[in-house]
């Protein structure tokens, strides 16, 4: 008897432009995860000086988003099973973008730590969700290759955030410190309209 399950039919499908589009969109979503990870390291010293953060509190400032990522990976991925992968993906990016944007306008270190923590919850759910979604959508014959391409696209964030920080951190643009623009630009990249 021939196996006619949905998974076997999807695995037999020819690779199409839709598969490449899904892979690209997931790669872009993962880009923001990597962007955020390297943003914390890039801005650690700058934010410490801006808010006169004592050395003992600096790990909390830098690590707050990582703690959020840890919880987001656990909590928000359970929602993906209930609401659907696509909707969960967009919800996670929205949560990340909203709190990253609010973090750009933090008036003190406490607000920034809370904003970074909440942004981390949104972005922390992305990698496991993206891996699951790609595994479900891609035929087995190209699954490893396409997941590799999605992650390769995400790693473009490392030099991107580095060069962006190099150019923006020393500046004040429209009355805002350059480091704040790194948060705003990231949010604009997530939701350009």
Whether residue 2 lies inside any domain: the answer is: no
pLDDT tens-digit series, residues 60-100: 988 999 999 999 998 887 888 888 888 888 888 899 999 99
| Structural domains counted in the chain | 1
Whether residue 143 lies inside any domain: the answer is: yes
By residue range, what is the domain housing residue 21? 17-190
* Token reading at 104: 């750009």
Whether residue 173 lies inside any domain: the answer is: yes
Are 190 and 96 in contact by the 8 Å Cβ rule? The answer is yes
Whether residue 163 lies inside any domain: the answer is: yes
Residue 53's CATH number: 1.20.1250.20
Whether pLDDT at 151 is above 90 = yes
Whether residue 10 lies inside any domain: the answer is: no
Whether residue 5 lies inside any domain: the answer is: no
pLDDT tens-digit series, residues 104-133: 999 998 999 999 999 999 999 889 899 989
Are 76 and 124 in contact by the 8 Å Cβ rule? The answer is yes
51-55, 121-125, 182-186: segment of lowest average pLDDT: 51-55
Angstrom distance (rounded) from CA 77 to CA 73 = 6
* Token reading at 91: 């919800």
What lies within 8 Å, CB to CB, of 132 at 6+ separation is 77, 80, 85
Whether residue 147 lies inside any domain: the answer is: yes
Whether residue 174 lies inside any domain: the answer is: yes
**Nearest CA among 76, 83, 191, 68 for reference residue 128:** 76
């Amino acid at each position: 008897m021939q196996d006619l399950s949905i998974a076997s039919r999807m695995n037999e499908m020819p690779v199409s432009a839709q598969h490449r589009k899904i892979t690209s969109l997931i790669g872009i979503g993962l880009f923001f995860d990597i962007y955020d990870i390297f943003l914390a390291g890039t801005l650690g010293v700058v934010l410490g000086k801006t808010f006169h953060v004592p050395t003992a509190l600096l790990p909390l400032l830098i690590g707050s988003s990582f703690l959020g990522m840890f919880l987001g990976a656990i909590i928000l991925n359970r929602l993906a099973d209930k609401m659907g992968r696509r909707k969960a993906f967009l919800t996670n990016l929205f949560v990340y973008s909203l709190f990253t944007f609010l973090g750009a306008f933090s008036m003190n270190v406490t607000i920034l730590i809370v904003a970074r923590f909440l942004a981390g919850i949104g972005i922390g759910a992305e990698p496991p969700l993206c891996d699951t979604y790609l595994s479900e959508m891609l035929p087995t014959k190209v699954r490893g290759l396409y997941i590799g391409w999605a992650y390769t696209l995400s790693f473009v964030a490392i030099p991107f955030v580095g060069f962006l920080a190099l150019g923006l951190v020393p500046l004040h643009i429209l009355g805002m410190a350059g480091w704040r623009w790194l948060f705003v630009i990231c949010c604009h990249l997530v939701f350009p309209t």
